[in-house]
Amino acid sequence: MSDGDKLVILVTGGTGLVGKAIKTVVEEHGERQDNEQWIFVGSRDADLSDLEQTKKLFDKYHPTHVIHLAAMVGGLFHNMSNNLDFFRINMKINDNVLETSYQTGVKKVISCLSTCIFPDKTTYPIDETMIHNGPPHSSNFGYSYAKRMLDVSNHAYYEKYGKIFTSVVPCNVFGPYDNFNLHSSHVIPGLIRKLHDVIMSGGGVFTVLGSGKPLRQFIYSIDLARLIIFVLREYNSVEPIILSVDEKDEVSIAELATRISEAFEFKGEIKFDTSAADGQYKKTASNKKLRSLLPTDFKFTPFNIAITNSVDWYKSNYKTARL
C-alpha cells in the first residue's frame, strides 16, 4: 500500500455518542482497514465555531477524509428555548469545517444531519428529496435550518469545485456514551436517566413528559456507526442519504417507556404528564435508498437488545456519564 492510498479520517464530535460508536466499531469490532488512520476529536481539542481553531486542528492532523459529527445538540425542550443559539453556533461550526476541508484538500466530508430537519407539514414516509419542501417544526427551527444549510453548502461546493461533500440523515440515535442530562438530552437517554433516578431514590412512579402518543424511529449507535463507515467507503454522491431503521420498526413514546422499564425490571407505575408538549407527532423516514445500496445480509440490532444494552451501560457508568 503506497502512502498515496492512505486515508486519514478525522471524526469531529468524536467523543460523543456517534463518535464513540464509530471508534468502538473500528477499534473493537475489527472494522479498521489497513490503509486507514482514524482520529477522534472533541470540543477539548478545538472549538469548531472558531475558524482559527478549526484551521489549527486540520493543520495538526492533515485529514484526507472528515466525518463531521460536531454540533450543538439537545432534546425537544432545550431546542424550544434556545433556537437562536442552535442556529448561530451550528452555522459557524458547519461553515468552518466545510471551508477548511476545501482549503486543505480534504477528498470527502460526510456531515451528520437529522430527520428533524424535514418539513413539519409533509407526507409520509419522508425521503431524501423532501428536505427543503417546507418549514421544519417550530420547536427546533434553529437547529433544523442550520443542518439543512449543510445540504445547501454540499451542493454549492460540488457545483463550484466538484467536491464530494455529502450528508447522512439518521433517525433518533441512542446508545452508550449518550448525553443523559435531564435538561438537554434526547428522549431515550433522558428516560433512562429519569427512571434510574426514580429507582435509586426508592420511588414507584416513572413520569414521562407528554402523552406518549408520538411515534419515532430509533437507531442504535453501533448500527449507525457501521452505516456511516459504509457511506465513507462506498457512497460517492453529494445527495444526502437517510440512515434509518425500517418503517415497521417505528415505536410510540409510550412503548419506548415500557421497554425501558422492562430493561430496568421496574415494577412501579408509568405516568404521562399531558401538560408537557409532545413536539412533532411523527417523522417516519424511508430507508429505501439505503436498502438499495446495502448488502442484503445487513441486520439492525433488535430494539429490545439495543435498549437493554444502553440501560446496562448506564447502570454501570452513571457516575461518569454525561449528566
Q: Is 235 a catalytic residue?
A: no
Side chain identity at residue 67, one-letter code: I
> Could you tell me the three cell numbers for 53?
481553531
Query: How far is the CA of 306 from the CAs of 111, 197, 220, in angstroms?
Result: 24, 21, 6
Report the C-alpha gap between 54 and 7 in whole angstroms.
20
Residue in 124, 143, 158, 318 annotated catalytic = 143
Angle at alpha carbon of residue 190, lines to 186 and 191, rounded to 5°: 125
Report the C-alpha gap between 46 and 66 in whole angstroms.
15
Selection from 284, 252, 277 nearest residue 122 by Cα: 284
Residues 6+ apart with CB under 8 A from 150: 94, 98, 111, 113, 167
> Could you tell me the three cell numbers for 99?
471551508
Active-site amino acid positions: 143
